[in-house]
Amino acid sequence: MTDVAGNAATWFVDRHPGEGRGDKVAFREAGGGRSLSYQGLAEGSGQVAAALRRAGVRPEERAAMLVTDTIEFPQIFFGALKCGVVPVPLNTLLAAPVYDAILRDCRATVLFVSEALFDTISSVLKGHPTLRVIIVNSDRAPEGCTSFDAFLRNAGTLETQPASDDEVAFWLYSSGSTGQPKGVPHVHSAMKATADTYGAHILGLREDDVVFSAAKLFFAYGLGNAMTFPLAAGATTVLFAGRPTPADMLAVMTAEQPTVFCGVPTLYAAMVAGMDKAGTPATLLRRAISAGEALPEDVGMRWEAHTGVAILDGVGSTEMLHIFLSNRAGDNVYGTSGVAVPGYDMRLVDETGTEVGDDEIGELLVRGASAAAGYWNQRKKSRTTFEGEWTRTGDKYERRKDGRYVYCGRTDDMFKVSGIWVSPFEVEQALVSHPAVLEAAVVAAPGEDGLDKPKAFVVLQDAADSGIAEHLKEHVKDRIGKWKYPRWISIVDELPKTATGKIQRFRLRGAGQ
């Protein structure tokens, strides 16, 4: 049925003032920046909707959002939803040619862009084939663009328009670990589905929570953590527009006192290293979550020793919109991804599609109400990823007898040594458990016999001593067995990663020793 209740803006935004939350702060910018009340969000998004309508933007047209984590983000996102325009949040760390490809792929007619990001994208805007309206969040808009304030001025407000649960509400671009980003359309009901599953059962947000997500709003993980879940609970979100450096994250934790923190493994590892040196800040933290990559056991334990709060590691995807497999409070086992989030089902299958048993490795498939239906304009890739109700994750997992899932690697990252599967993640965990190691990535490389062996790229906590590589090899042998140890170890300054923090192992394959 198509009605106002089907529009996600009704539940996430419009209901709050009537429930007595009008004056409550929904979003506040870290460092004494601006704040936006629930009433302000309802009004601001209504104004954005009216201004889009006035500008002649029609329902189902795409509005690209190259917007940092500021109070404009939720107003634009829900403003678009309110008038049936489809917001497409973009990763803020890409380069101009990728923005060009995405804007052409989604055929955006509108672009909202933060002032700080305008220069990165400006070269692709001139003569763009579909863009008609460019709104820059700055006092003085560049030529051919409108400032955000001028765009909204005297626009009035637009009531939230009816929508069907099954209607596309917004798109995200999946960065994947390789290749060009793919457009992933999501329906209105998908946001509520993630709030009712992971948000309610694992995160368990309360109205008095203050949430801080280092993962940005353009990323499915950040969009749930810092926007839809707190709005579903009537809580408050702290927004941080800059790059999430470990030092800044610890400073925000001290200054803003969030009760819930959402990070990714590499950031947790660096924050733990920071706390080892500078001490643990006093916080009101009651929950910490991680996703994006499997969390090394050692990082979780060291974080918990510092803060007294467990990190609940989970796995999600842009295609499923948020986390579907997770540890939970009071039942957290580091080194595993936990069990299915209520509302989701899992299958592990081999190359022939046959289900594998406990303690065997297979590809993880997931089923749940938040799944996308396909990729935009990518029929072949859609058909191999979305199989009816099931979505292929591209991740290899092993289900233990106790029902917990253990991550083994991306399907294309796994390799065999002497005929036995090696999980790069297991070797990486063993390396990271050494106090000298900050991060590690492991890939297959051919030995003199032409057969694959593990090869490691390691970032150290501090300057290396000369015998460190041999020492680390022995450490891995002791932890996980003799045939899995890396035959070569390269000490590097950093690992190649996607903008969302996933290690790009494919870029290390074939890299020099």
Q: Name the H helices within 83-160.
A: 96-106, 115-122, 148-152
Q: Which residues bind ligand 3SK (CB under 6 A)?
A: 220-221, 291-292, 315-318, 322-323
Q: Name the H helices within 112-181.
A: 115-122, 148-152
R_g of the chain, CA atoms, integer Å: 23
CB 169 within 8 A of CB 187: yes
170 versus 485: smaller Cβ distance to ligand 3SK = 170
User: Measured between alpha carbons, how far is residue 97 from residues 114, 130, 141, 223, 485 in Å?
Assistant: 18, 16, 23, 25, 40
Residue whose entry in the numeric block shows the structure tokens 């990486």: 428
SS3 337: coil
Nearest distance from C-beta of residue 338 to ligand 3SK, angstroms: 12
What is the Cα–Cα distance from 324 to 265, expressed in whole angstroms?
Answer: 18
What is the Cα–Cα distance from 118 to 114, expressed in whole angstroms?
Answer: 6
CB 347 within 8 A of CB 294: no
Residue whose entry in the numeric block shows the structure tokens 């591209």: 394
Closest CA to 209 of 199, 221, 194, 196: 199
Nearest distance from C-beta of residue 315 to ligand 3SK, angstroms: 5
CB 226 within 8 A of CB 236: no
What is the Cα–Cα distance from 150 to 152, expressed in whole angstroms?
Answer: 5
SS3 183: strand
Structure tokens at 38: 């629930």
Cβ-count burial of 510 within 10 angstroms (0-12 exposed, 13-18 middle, 19+ buried)? Answer: exposed
Identify the DSSP state of 5: G
What is the Cα–Cα distance from 337 to 408, expressed in whole angstroms?
Answer: 11
| Side chain identity, residue 493 | D
131 versus 288: smaller Cβ distance to ligand 3SK = 288
Q: Please identify the residue of the shown chain whose CB is closest to the bound ligand 3SK.
A: 316
Kind and range of the H or E run holding 424: helix 424-432
What is the Cα–Cα distance from 212 to 203, expressed in whole angstroms?
Answer: 13
Closest CA to 497 of 244, 320, 309, 303: 244
